[in-house]
Amino acid sequence: MAETESTKVLDEIKTKFGDAVSPDEREGYDGYLVRAENLLDFATFVRDALGYDYLSSVTGVDYIVEDKMEVVYHAYRTSGGPALLFKVQTQREKSVVPSLVSIYPGADFQEREAWDLLGIEFEGHPDLRRILLWDGFHGHPLRKDWREAYFEEDQKPFGNRWPEGKVYRIEDKVPFNKNVKYPANFTPEGWVPEGEGTLYASLGRMEKSNGNGTGSEHIVVNLGPQHPSTHGVFRMVAELDGETIVDLKPVMGYLHRNHEKIGERNTYIMNMPFTDRLDYICSMGNNFAYALSVEKLMDVQPPERAEYLRVIMAELTRVVNHFWAIGFLLNDLGAFFTPALYAINERELILDVFEAVSGSRMMCNYFRFGGLARDLPPGTAEVIRDLAFERLPEKIDELERYLTENEIVRVRGEGVGVLTAEQAIGFAAAGPVLRASGVPYDVRKAEPYSIYDRFDFDVAVRYNGDVYDRYLIRVDEIRQSIRILQQAIQDLPEGEIQTGRPQYQVRVPAGESYGRVENPKGELGFYVISDGSPTPYRYHIRAPSFINVTGMAEMSRGQKIADVVAILGSIDIVLGETDR
């Protein structure tokens, strides 16, 4: 934040909390260290007195050498500006931190994730259960002393690959060739999934009188994870009164592969293609956020041409995502595949561009620290120009003619799955979900990165917070992306696309950084800690698909079962990013 604003905030914090809050003076670090016993008061003060109403990211860190755990919070003002970064440290063995769910409801799933993967207990959390791992999982895998059955070494490349080159399969050295550890005395026949019982108990079972002396009982049903309308391997446990949703709990983790643990073993550059596999519809945007985070630590600035090409690829990605989201929302409304095919056709033309520049249509691995992997091939700029000025404006008009005033789309969307502005901010919703609820918050404007401050575009916003407005907001954003693309391709300069020589191994100075972008589904952030070694010490992803689901229960209460499918489609999640 600006120097004067930072000084003012520090003065207010000192006046209010004295020695209970102190600046983080570790080299390469920022923000404030808060005593655990003062955390609730501090968070309330930050929200109400300082105006940081949006808690974007909650990250757990294991500092095993110092024998402590740390929880890192990134809070923002929805009016714009940089983060207020604050942290709590505890003893490692008994790591207990007050839950912030009562102050920032959007901390709910993120605190559960920190408990699940690191074993940090959040006192007062309303439903502290595993969220990404199965109930019988043994241990907390992001702890630095946790070892899986296939463990070889802490960092890559493994010694048997390089430099010796004496490769063997670690599976051959593990009993039964299984990369699985179970709790003590575990047997499949005797295991009772405690988490499932807690899950169903948290919904409750209530009886309702119908006034004539007879009663009916609410029932609990599972929607998914195998159902195609749950967008992959996702499950919703719903409590029903007839066909009306009384309460709902999202259940995820069926696709979890501990991306962050892998990221802390990989070298920095090895992680770039792994980011492609998060939201696999938005590979270029994922690359962008990760590159920004590491570039902050390295103090590297890409060349002008690379900056323009990055923006072009990011905005083409936004168009790809929103066409796809609209097409499959209509699938969820029952218009099986005809609107989706119109949308997919446009997506394929943009994927042709991605394939030309990166060699891949979906897993692009295109960004590099300080630039890009390669320049545009001959003729690609002309293809992008034609898309931006001719094809895409025409096709979004055509899609709107089919859908926007369609009676079924309006009846199924208007007033369904409403999330108010206050609720959207509280749940840390991001992207179209947040802006469809009347909050004009877009990272490209709120805290501009790359060269977004050079472009003339508007933050799309709608005000009803329902399924229909979440459809409209994506149409609006496609139009704004087209505006940016037209400006970027017109102004695209000649020159280099990489600062310095391409590197296959980078040394990143010690410290912390948080790089974030306005990805199509909302704020995608990478919190990276470097200890100066070739691999990240901590690598954490603020995943919009994961956090946007936090408000799912609020959107669903009082709706019908069929509406819940539409609500989920209007959030637009990809399970590769939700589960990681």
Q: What is the pLDDT of residues 559-571, one digit of tens each?
A: 998 899 899 989 9
> At which residue do the structure tokens 């407005």 appear?
469
Burial of 190 (C-beta count, 10 Å sphere; 0-12/13-18/19+): exposed
What are the backbone dihedrals phi and psi of residue 555, each rounded to the nearest 5 degrees, phi first?
Answer: -70, -25
Residue 207 has pLDDT above 70, yes or no: no
What's the pLDDT at 13? Answer: 84
Residue 181 Cα distances to 137, 145, 175, 351, 580, angstroms = 8, 15, 11, 41, 20
Residues 499-533: pLDDT tens digits?
Answer: 888 878 888 999 999 999 999 999 999 999 999 99
Burial of 22 (C-beta count, 10 Å sphere; 0-12/13-18/19+): middle
The C-alpha atoms of residue 120 and residue 114 are separated, in whole angstroms, by 6
Buried b (16+ CB within 10 A) or exposed e, 263-298: bbbbbbbbbbbbbbbbbebbbbbbbbbbbbbbbbbb
Distance from chain centroid for Cα 127: 21
What secondary structure does DSSP assign to 340-400, as a single string? HHHHHHHHHHHHHHHHHHHS-SS----EETTEESS-PPTTHHHHHHHIIIIIHHHHHHHHH
Residue 160 has pLDDT above 70, yes or no: yes
> At which residue do the structure tokens 């070889």 appear?
152
Residue 155 has pLDDT above 90, yes or no: no
Tokens of 347: 């997506």
25 in helix, strand or coil?
coil
Residues 123-134: pLDDT tens digits?
Answer: 999 989 899 988
Residues 236-259: pLDDT tens digits?
Answer: 888 888 888 988 989 998 889 889
Residue 74 has pLDDT above 80, yes or no: yes
Give the single-character DSSP code of 252. -
In terms of phi and psi (left: phi > 0; alpha: psi -120 to 50; beta: otherwise), the region of 442 is: beta
Residue 165 Cα distances to 153, 160, 184, 367, angstroms = 15, 6, 37, 29
What are the backbone dihedrals phi and psi of residue 34, each rounded to the nearest 5 degrees, phi first?
Answer: -115, 135
Residues 178-195: pLDDT tens digits?
Answer: 666 676 777 777 776 766
The C-alpha atoms of residue 16 and residue 95 are separated, in whole angstroms, by 26
Residue 19 Cα distances to 30, 38, 39, 514, angstroms = 17, 11, 13, 26
Residue 49 Cα distances to 43, 46, 56, 101, angstroms = 10, 6, 18, 18
Q: Model confidence at 454, in pLDDT bands (50, 70, 90)?
A: very high
What's the pLDDT at 203? Answer: 74
The C-alpha atoms of residue 580 and residue 569 are separated, in whole angstroms, by 19
Percent of the residues in the chain that have a pLDDT greater than 90, as a whole number? 59
Between the two ends of the chain, the Cα-to-Cα distance in Å is 30
Residues 19-54: pLDDT tens digits?
Answer: 888 898 899 899 999 999 999 999 999 999 999 999
Q: What Rg value do the Cα atoms of the chain yield, rounded?
A: 24
Residue 407 has pLDDT above 90, yes or no: no
The C-alpha atoms of residue 448 and residue 450 are separated, in whole angstroms, by 7
What's the pLDDT at 426? Answer: 93
The C-alpha atoms of residue 579 and residue 233 are separated, in whole angstroms, by 10
Contacts of 530 (CB under 8 A, 6+ apart): 28, 297, 508, 509, 510, 511, 512, 536, 537
Name the residue type at position 457: F
Instruction: Give the residues across from 122 on adjacent strands.
Output: 97
Q: What domains can be seen in the chain, in order of their start residue?
A: 2-123 (3.30.460.80), 259-578 (1.10.645.10)
Instruction: Return mean pLDDT, the chain.
Output: 88
What are the backbone dihedrals phi and psi of residue 213, each rounded to the nearest 5 degrees, phi first?
Answer: 95, -10
What's the pLDDT at 211? Answer: 58
84-88, 160-164, 174-178, 215-219: lowest mean pLDDT where?
174-178
Q: Tell me the torsion sign for CA atoms 378, 381, 385, 386.
A: positive
Burial of 360 (C-beta count, 10 Å sphere; 0-12/13-18/19+): middle
Residue 206 has pLDDT above 60, yes or no: no
Q: What is the mean pLDDT of residues 412-429?
A: 92
Query: Kindly report the CA angle at 576 between 561 and 360, in degrees rounded to 5?
Result: 130
Q: What is the mean pLDDT of residues 364-388?
A: 93
71: nearest Cα among 125, 18, 19? 125
Contact assessment for residue 46 and residue 38, using Cβ atoms and an 8 Å cutoff: no
What secondary structure does DSSP assign to 206-244, as a single string? -EEE-SSS-EEE-EEEEE-SS-GGGSSS-EEEEEEETTE
Alpha helices in 18-59, H assignment, sequence order: 39-48
The C-alpha atoms of residue 523 and residue 446 are separated, in whole angstroms, by 11
Q: Model confidence at 208, in pLDDT bands (50, 70, 90)?
A: low
What's the pLDDT at 179? Answer: 66
